[in-house]
Structure 1
Amino acid sequence: MCDTTHASPHDAALSAPRPVLGTAVDPITLQPVDEVRVTVLMDNTFDALLVGDGHTTRTGFGPAATPAGQFESGQTAVGLLAEHGFSALVTVRRGDQETTLMFDAGLSPSGIITNADRLGISLDGLQGVVLSHGHFDHAGGLGGLACRLGSGRMPMIVHPYAWTRRRIQDSRSTFDMPTLSKKALNGEGFEIIERTQPSLLVDGSVLITGEVDRTTDFEHGMPAPHQAWHGAGWQHDPHVIDDQALVVHIKDRGLVVLTGCGHAGVINIVRHAQRLTGVTALHALLGGFHLSGPAFEPVIAPTIAALSDIAPHLIAPGHCTGWRAQHALAAALPDAWVASSSGTTYRLTRT
């Protein structure tokens, strides 16, 4: 979730960078792949007028086949849904072998299923689900996905803190976030795999980072209103320690890093992925950067400075990145930045 409350110096001190809990696995041999396709099933925006390019395919309006009596034909064309949430299908190819995973599941129970249908995407070949963290705007569509998949067990990688009760409380109101239920997800057919450490999937060609090292001096995490229940009471939860990213290494190109909200800080995440894999080149960075609102806007400039040094070939910020950060990123990295939108597919290859 995004919060727009100003953080105090005390809040910043509470959320100062700290090492990740546990022992990092370093280095990790991440097997290179020939191609990665990332299809954004759900994002905060949908723009039917966006134009694709060599590595980006856009989705416009579909055929005029939706019932609507106010038109002479009795039908109208619709686009895709957009909501405050994120979900992406990630397909990796090595030779002639392809594997597809779902990374996050959007906000609403039916959103990702509706968009998949409008895109003509079958989810029958889905081979696993990865949750970036436990916030409800990344897990709301899991019930709809379970209904679509029917019987059978679908593996799902989560951090054990994804079940944490959380809320946003300030002087004016309290918002209790919907909390994920492990029991319910098990009952719906998901095979829960809890990991705090890095995980290698798809024959070693997909890395799930697990907990991310917090090493920068500017990515301080969530401000004081973001709280978590710790058994005896509510406490400030700056770190969202369950935040994790998905990483793939394209042969001869570099890393592709996909974030959900980037609560660990996108620069922390990229540097963590580089350290774990030993691969320094960043080919693409996609997903939520969580730079929206007054509490995070001071992080925009140092984030852009660090990204300029890293020099990714493609950057596609979405979801909770925020309009100020989007404008600044587009101005600073014009050759790399592209606008995100529900229904966009990024095809990234070694050639």
Structure 2
Amino acid sequence: MKLTALVDNTRLDNRTDLAVERGLSLHLSTMGRQVLFDAGSSKAFCDNAALLNVKIQDIDAAVISHRHHDHCNGVSHFLERNSKALVHFRECEETDYCFKAFGFKTNVGIDKNLLPNAKERFNFVNKTTEIFPNIFIITKISSKYKQPKGNQYLFTNSGMGCKPDTFDHELLMIIKESDGLIVFTGCAHSGVLNMVETAVALFPDTRIKAVVGGFHLVGLPLFNSIGGSKKDIEAIGQTLLSYPIDKLYTGHCTGMKAYGLLKGVLGDRLEYLPTGRSVVI
């Protein structure tokens, strides 16, 4: 698999021509298919794709990890540039998504005009679905471990007041290549450990070549705080070491402070994946 970060919060130091945003979009090419995993919050990923030799029009499918704007609002720009690919979402009830902390509240959800305007291009998934041979969308995610503490600031409102977000709009993507799995987490609001546990349960005794995406270990993004204590983050790293994972590529909502703590535990197994970086897995 060749994997390229089309947009992330940061970029390669030598690629000042690339746009950044607080969002995530990844392009992958494997087994004769091209997949877009998340679409950021704007057309930045499309602009960057042109500079990274990625042709949006040739992508075979898009998979959206969850319905927060920084992962899905760029879909409208994807649809303008790609006339063939289905965009896969997890099926869930319609609701508003918001961030609340210390009296501050803001909408963090999907653009409500997006879904009604292109219904024929969307596929809503409510069970494990193999969108192409050995490319799986998973909707039932383990709850063995606690969810990230940063989730405490995220809510939904379907017209009956704000309630903590249960993340029933989040999915997991797993790609099974001949020599192992690649697990895509999006923001891992369900918990990166739960996502890894899900992959291990579905594909027992199978090597995990890589875990890719954000781990939502940031607390308050504005202050780049960590979600939980130093001990909490290091414990997540120690548990990840107990799984058969070769590499972890992360960025976005992991947060730089939490990344540093994880790096201290995971060492060379963990790498940052900024805008513009490509890796072969």
TM-score of the aligned structures, taking structure 1 as reference length? 0.72
Whichever residue aligns with residue 335 of structure 1, its letter is D
Counterpart residue number, 1:115: 48
Counterparts of 1:166 and 1:120, CA distance in 2: 34
Counterpart residue number, 2:27: 89
The residue matched to 1:328 in structure 2 has which SS? helix
The one of 119, 131, 143 equivalent to 1:214 is 143
The one of 14, 17, 29 equivalent to 1:79 is 17
The one of 257, 260, 264 equivalent to 1:324 is 257
Counterpart residue number, 1:198: 128
The residue matched to 2:267 in structure 1 has which SS? coil
Residue 187 in 1 paired to residue 114 in 2? Answer: no
Counterpart contact for 2:94–2:158, Cα < 8 Å: no
Whichever residue aligns with residue 236 of structure 1, its letter is P
Superposed, 1:111-150 pairs within 5 Å as 111-149=44-82
Counterpart residue number, 2:173: 246
Counterpart contact for 2:226–2:258, Cα < 8 Å: no
Counterpart residue number, 2:158: 230
TM-score of the aligned structures, taking structure 2 as reference length? 0.89
Aligned positions, number:
274
Residue-by-residue CA offset, 1:162-210 (whole Å, 9 max, x unaligned): 74311122342211224343x634534752211121111212x111111
Counterpart contact for 1:281–1:310, Cα < 8 Å: no
Counterparts of 1:130 and 1:320, CA distance in 2: 18
The residue matched to 2:67 in structure 1 has which SS? coil
Counterpart contact for 1:153–1:189, Cα < 8 Å: no
The residue matched to 2:114 in structure 1 has which SS? helix
Counterparts in 2 of 1:340 and 1:135: CA distance versus 1, 3 Å? same
**Offset, 1:319:** 0.6
Counterparts of 2:41 and 2:188, CA distance in 1: 17
Residue-by-residue CA offset, 1:5-28 (whole Å, 9 max, x unaligned): xxxxxxxxxxxxxxxxxxxxxxxx
The residue matched to 2:272 in structure 1 has which SS? coil
Counterpart contact for 1:281–1:312, Cα < 8 Å: yes
**Unaligned stretches of 5+ in structure 1?**
1-35, 49-59, 62-77
Counterparts of 1:121 and 1:306, CA distance in 2: 35
Counterparts in 2 of 1:129 and 1:221: CA distance versus 1, 3 Å? farther
Counterparts of 1:121 and 1:129, CA distance in 2: 14
Counterpart contact for 1:40–1:89, Cα < 8 Å: yes
Counterpart contact for 1:42–1:111, Cα < 8 Å: yes
Counterparts in 2 of 1:241 and 1:171: CA distance versus 1, 3 Å? same
* Bigger Rg, which one: 1
Whichever residue aligns with residue 4 of structure 2, its letter is T
Counterpart contact for 1:44–1:341, Cα < 8 Å: yes
**Offset, 1:279:** 4.0
Counterparts of 1:303 and 1:84, CA distance in 2: 24
Q: From the two aligned structures, give the one with the greater helix fraction.
A: 2
Whichever residue aligns with residue 202 of structure 1, its letter is F
Counterpart contact for 1:159–1:242, Cα < 8 Å: yes
**Offset, 1:221:** 5.5
**Offset, 1:127:** 1.0
Whichever residue aligns with residue 114 of structure 2, its letter is A
The one of 165, 184, 188 equivalent to 1:262 is 188
Whichever residue aligns with residue 212 of structure 1, its letter is I
Q: CA RMSD in A?
A: 2.1
Counterparts of 2:162 and 2:95, CA distance in 1: 11
Counterpart contact for 2:62–2:86, Cα < 8 Å: yes
Superposed, 1:141-180 pairs within 5 Å as 141-149=74-82, 152-161=83-92, 163-180=94-111
Counterparts in 2 of 1:192 and 1:279: CA distance versus 1, 3 Å? farther
